[in-house]
Structure 1
Amino acid sequence: MASTYDFDLFVIGGGSGGVRAARVAAGDGVKVGLAEESRYGGTCVIRGCVPKKLMVFASEYRDMTEDARAYGWDIKDGPFDWPAFQKNLHTELDRLEGVYRNLLANSGVETFDSRARLKDKHTIVLDDGTEKTAKTILIATGGYPVRPDLPNADLGIVSDDIFDLESLPKSILIIGGGYIACEFACILHGLGVEVTQYYRGAQILRGFDDEARGLIAEAMRARGIDLHVGTDIVEMWPAGQAHDALTGSDAAMGAEGSDKAAKQGGVHGGPVCVKSTTGGEKTFDMVFFATGRAPSSRDIGLQEAGVILGRKGEILVDEFSRTAVDNIYAIGDVTDRVNLTPVAIREGMAFVETVYRDNPTPVDHDLIPSAIFTQPEMGTIGLSEEAAAAQEEIEVYASSFRPMQTAFAGREARVLMKLIVSRKTRVVLGCHIVAPGAGEMIQLAGIAIKMGATKEDFDRVCAVHPTMSEEIVTMRTPIRTA
Structure 2
Amino acid sequence: MTKHYDLIVIGSGTAAMVASHRMASAGRKVAVTDYRPFGGTCALRGCDPKKMLVTGAQVIDDVRRMTRRGVVAEDAHIAWPDLIAFKRTFTGPVPKKQERRYADRGIDAYHAQARFVGPNAVGLDGGERLEADHILLATGARPAPLGFPGEELLITNEEFLELEELPERIVLVGGGYIAAEFSHIAARAGARVTILQRGGRLLAHFDPDLVGWLMEKFSEVGIDVRTRTTVEGVEKTDRGFLVRARADADGGQPMTVEADLVVHAAGRIPDLDSLDLQGAGVERDGRGHLRLNEFLQSVSNPAVYAAGDAAQMGPPLTPVSSHDAKVVVRNILDGNRHRPDYRGVPSVAFTIPPIVGVGLSEQEAREKGLKFRMQSQLVPHWYTARRLAETVYGFKVLVDEETDLVIGAHLVGPHVDDVINLFGLAIRHGLTAENLKTTMFAYPTGASDIGYML
Show CA shifts across 1:91-136 (max 9, x none).
Answer: 3102222332222111110100111111001221110111122121
Shift of the alpha carbon at 1:358? 5.3
- Please state if 1:360 is matched with 2:337: yes
- Please state if 1:272 is matched with 2:244: no
Alignment of 1:307-326 (within 5 A): 307-323=282-298, 324-326=300-302
Q: Secondary structure at the match of 2:348?
A: strand
Runs of 4+ with >4 A deviation: none
Alignment of 1:375-454 (within 5 A): 375-391=352-368, 392-402=370-380, 403-404=382-383, 407=386, 411=389, 413-454=391-432
Question: For the Cα contact (< 8 Å) 1:370–1:379, is it kept in 2?
Answer: yes
Letter in 2 for 1:413: T
Aligned to 1:153: 151
Q: Secondary structure at the match of 2:395?
A: strand
Q: Secondary structure at the match of 2:130?
A: strand
Letter in 2 for 1:365: Y
Q: Secondary structure at the match of 1:91?
A: helix
Aligned to 1:233: 231
Shift of the alpha carbon at 1:302? 1.1
Q: Distance in 2 between matches of 1:280 and 1:97?
A: 44
Deviates more, 1:87-96 or 1:339-348: 87-96
Q: Secondary structure at the match of 2:244?
A: strand
Alignment of 1:221-260 (within 5 A): 221-240=219-238
TM-score, reference length from structure 1: 0.87
Aligned to 1:244: none
Percent identity over paired residues: 30
Q: Distance in 2 between matches of 1:5 and 1:105?
A: 17
Give the number of equivalent residue pairs: 443
Q: Distance in 2 between matches of 1:5 and 1:195?
A: 51
Question: For the Cα contact (< 8 Å) 2:7–2:134, is it kept in 1?
Answer: yes
Letter in 1 for 2:425: I
Q: Distance in 1 between matches of 2:354 and 2:7?
A: 40
- Where do 5+ consecutive residues of structure 2 fail to align? 248-253
- Where do 5+ consecutive residues of structure 1 fail to align? 241-269, 477-482
Shift of the alpha carbon at 1:308? 0.7
Q: Distance in 2 between matches of 1:454 and 1:76?
A: 48
Question: For the Cα contact (< 8 Å) 1:239–1:283, is it kept in 2?
Answer: no
Question: For the Cα contact (< 8 Å) 1:83–1:167, is it kept in 2?
Answer: yes
Q: Distance in 1 between matches of 2:438 and 2:169?
A: 50
Q: Distance in 1 between matches of 2:424 and 2:99?
A: 32
Shift of the alpha carbon at 1:357? 4.3
TM-score, reference length from structure 2: 0.92
Q: Secondary structure at the match of 2:16?
A: helix
Shift of the alpha carbon at 1:464? 4.4
- Please state if 1:457 is matched with 2:435: yes
Letter in 1 for 2:362: E
Question: For the Cα contact (< 8 Å) 1:68–1:75, is it kept in 2?
Answer: no
Q: Distance in 1 between matches of 2:86 and 2:217?
A: 30
Shift of the alpha carbon at 1:406? 5.6
Letter in 2 for 1:326: P
Question: For the Cα contact (< 8 Å) 1:31–1:109, is it kept in 2?
Answer: yes
Aligned to 1:297: 272
Deviates more, 1:200-209 or 1:31-40: 200-209
Deviates more, 1:7-16 or 1:84-93: 84-93
Q: 1:419 to 1:78 in 2, by over 3 A?
A: closer
Question: For the Cα contact (< 8 Å) 1:147–1:289, is it kept in 2?
Answer: no
Question: For the Cα contact (< 8 Å) 2:63–2:76, is it kept in 1?
Answer: no
Aligned to 2:251: none
Show CA shifts across 1:384-408 (max 9, x none).
Answer: 1111122223211123222546645
Residue number among 272, 277, 283 corresponding to 2:258 in the alignment = 283
Deviates more, 1:174-183 or 1:458-467: 458-467
Q: Distance in 2 between matches of 1:336 and 1:87?
A: 33
Letter in 2 for 1:37: Y
Shift of the alpha carbon at 1:167? 1.3
Letter in 2 for 1:369: P
Shift of the alpha carbon at 1:63? 1.6
- Please state if 1:173 is matched with 2:142: no
Q: Secondary structure at the match of 2:229?
A: coil
Question: For the Cα contact (< 8 Å) 2:117–2:279, is it kept in 1?
Answer: yes
Letter in 2 for 1:164: E
Letter in 2 for 1:315: L
Shift of the alpha carbon at 1:330? 1.2
Letter in 2 for 1:174: L
Q: Distance in 1 between matches of 2:346 and 2:181?
A: 17
Letter in 1 for 2:444: P
Q: Distance in 1 between matches of 2:436 and 2:182?
A: 34
Q: Distance in 1 between matches of 2:297 and 2:270?
A: 17
Q: Secondary structure at the match of 1:11?
A: strand
Alignment of 1:79-94 (within 5 A): 79-94=77-92
Q: Distance in 2 between matches of 1:67 and 1:216?
A: 16
Q: Distance in 1 between matches of 2:378 and 2:442?
A: 18
Shift of the alpha carbon at 1:203? 1.4
Question: For the Cα contact (< 8 Å) 1:382–1:429, is it kept in 2?
Answer: yes
Show CA shifts across 1:153-174 (max 9, x none).
Answer: 1122121211122311101111
Show CA shifts across 1:365-419 (max 9, x none).
Answer: 222112111111012110111111222232111232225466456x462201221
Question: For the Cα contact (< 8 Å) 1:8–1:32, is it kept in 2?
Answer: yes
Aligned to 1:474: 452
Q: Secondary structure at the match of 2:363?
A: helix
Aligned to 2:250: none
Q: 1:211 to 1:90 in 2, by over 3 A?
A: same
Aligned to 1:327: 303
